[in-house]
């Protein structure tokens, strides 16, 4: 009987093991997990609801949701994509629901629905699960015919005795920004659709932006952190940040402000808000732009003041002062260099019968179920490759 070791008891590991065992019932499949619990990351993902994929309805270019790995995934999606993943879960009794933002969750809104499915399928298929089983070297797995590495973000890049050229040093992705601005932090809880960007680069992201007690968060910031993960790491997370609170162009903002000057000439700036901005945010921005004139009537604004207010709305600048105060990021940028694997099978070019799936590869997506989808697709690819290799 041939044996496969799946190193890593997370989403990709379980998906790979289950599909491989279904494809090759005669294969002995063992999941080796270093910690005491499997699927811990799945449990807390999506706020405990598990955003397991995305409908991809608004995705025109995969690069917009996969800053790294989009070319490889475009190829692999031809074999197993988000539609296949949706059917895979529903076929096994997990009903899914698609939200207005195109994120896909279990109808139960509980990540344990996914966890229980994986554990039950592993039990049904007689897959061995070993916890507290740390693998330090490929030599530890010499008894296995095939090895699949699904260990996640590879924060410890020396985990395996692979040639260093295989590994792109991992850095955090999908994190929020610390911003040392007490007045901004006083707006904690405020949410607004905005566009954030790193000045001097083409890196920008749009969507809901959440002001927190440490700075900025929300899908907009998380996406930007993903796009700029490597750049921000190189600058020790100390970089300028620009926010367009309207996501509109300069001339569009100026026209709207001029219209307010005409229509609400006698009203104070603080009482009439353009662009449906939250009241606290509008008061903060007008004070920041106009200082003592923040309570002036709309009709009294001169051109210089209108220009300052326009610039504040479309180019409000801050200094990123570090990442959010969390110990572990959900996603990392980096891992196994994609040039080191066969793009059709994800098998190592240097080590026969050694495969990689999930976040251990240099593939990462923005928030919204895209990282789980990459895990399902790469895991299915490896399961198919091992099945074919058995022949």
Model confidence over 188-222: pLDDT tens digits? 999 999 999 999 999 999 999 999 999 999 999 99
Instruction: Tell me the C-alpha distance between 230 and 151, whole Å.
Output: 21
27 close to 127: Cβ distance less than 8 angstroms: no
In 315-353, where do the E strands start and end? 316-323, 331-336
What's the pLDDT at 260? 95
pLDDT (0 to 100) of residue 328: 46
3-state secondary structure (DSSP) of residue 266: coil
Strands 191-197 and 240-244: antiparallel
- 284: which 2 tokens? 């903060």
Bridge partner residues of 130 (DSSP)? 32
pLDDT tens for 230-282 read: 999 999 999 999 999 999 999 999 999 999 999 999 999 989 999 999 999 99
DSSP 34-66: SSSSSSHHHHHGGGGT---EE--TT-S-GGGT-
Q: What is the pLDDT of residue 165?
A: 62
| Spatial distance between the Cα atoms of 20 and 122, rounded to a whole number of angstroms | 11
Give the pLDDT confidence score for residue 158 in this predicted structure.
44
Q: What is the number of H-type helices and E-type strands within the chain?
A: 12, 16
* pTM, to two decimals: 0.90
Q: What is the pLDDT of residue 113?
A: 98
User: H-helix or E-strand containing 248?
Assistant: none
Distance CA 118, CA 380 (A): 14
Please give the Cα distance from 16 to 11 (Å, whole number): 9
Q: Find, among 46, 372, 366, the residue nearest to 206 by Cα.
A: 366
CB 338 within 8 A of CB 332: no
Q: 354 Cβ partners below 8 Å, 6+ apart? A: 138, 147, 149, 347, 348
Predicted local distance difference test score (pLDDT) of residue 153: 78
Residues of the chain with pLDDT under 50: 156-159, 327-329
Cβ atoms 279, 354 nearer than 8 A? no
For the chain, where are the alpha helices, taking DSSP H only? 11-23, 40-44, 70-76, 82-91, 112-124, 182-185, 219-227, 229-234, 250-263, 279-290, 303-314, 370-390
Spatial neighbors of 169 by CB under 8 A, at least 6 apart, are: 157, 334
């Amino acid at each position: 009987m041939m044996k496969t070791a799946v190193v890593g008891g997370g989403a990709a590991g379980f998906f790979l093991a289950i599909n491989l065992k279904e494809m090759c019932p005669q294969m002995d499949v063992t999941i080796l997990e270093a910690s005491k619990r499997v699927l811990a990351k799945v449990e807390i993902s999506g706020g405990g609801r598990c955003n397991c994929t995305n409908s991809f309805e608004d995705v025109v270019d995969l690069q917009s949701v996969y800053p790294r790995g989009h070319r490889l995934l475009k190829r692999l999606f031809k074999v197993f994509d988000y539609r296949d993943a949706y059917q895979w879960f529903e076929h096994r009794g997990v009903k899914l629901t698609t939200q207005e933002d195109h994120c896909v969750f279990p109808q139960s809104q509980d990540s344990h629905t996914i966890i229980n499915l994986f554990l039950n399928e592993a039990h049904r298929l007689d897959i061995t699960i070993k916890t507290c089983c740390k693998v330090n070297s490929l030599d530890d797995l010499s008894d296995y015919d095939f090895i699949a590495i699904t260990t996640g973000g590879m924060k410890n890049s020396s985990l395996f005795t692979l040639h260093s050229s295989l590994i792109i040093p991992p850095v955090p992705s999908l994190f929020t920004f610390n911003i040392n601005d007490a007045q901004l932090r006083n707006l904690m809880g405020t949410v607004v659709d905005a566009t954030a960007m790193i000045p001097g680069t083409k890196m920008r992201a749009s969507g809901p932006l959440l002001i927190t007690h440490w700075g900025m968060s929300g899908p907009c910031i998380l996406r930007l952190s993903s796009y700029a993960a490597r750049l921000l790491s190189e600058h020790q997370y100390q970089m300028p940040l620009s926010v367009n609170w309207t996501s509109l162009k300069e001339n569009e903002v100026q026209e709207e402000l001029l219209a307010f000057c005409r229509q609400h000439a006698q009203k104070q700036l603080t009482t009439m808000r353009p662009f449906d901005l939250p009241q606290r945010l509008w008061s903060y921005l007008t004070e920041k732009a106009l200082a003592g004139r923040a309570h002036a009537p709309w009709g009294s604004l001169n051109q210089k003041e209108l220009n300052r207010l326009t610039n504040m709305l479309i180019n409000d600048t801050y200094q990123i002062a570090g990442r959010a105060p969390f110990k572990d990021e959900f996603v990392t940028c980096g891992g196994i260099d994609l040039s080191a694997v066969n793009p059709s099978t994800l098998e190592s070019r240097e080590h026969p019968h050694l495969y990689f799936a999930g976040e251990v590869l240099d593939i990462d997506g923005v928030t919204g179920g895209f990282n789980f989808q990459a895990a399902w697709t790469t895991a299915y690819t490896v399961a198919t490759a091992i099945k074919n290799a058995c022949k």
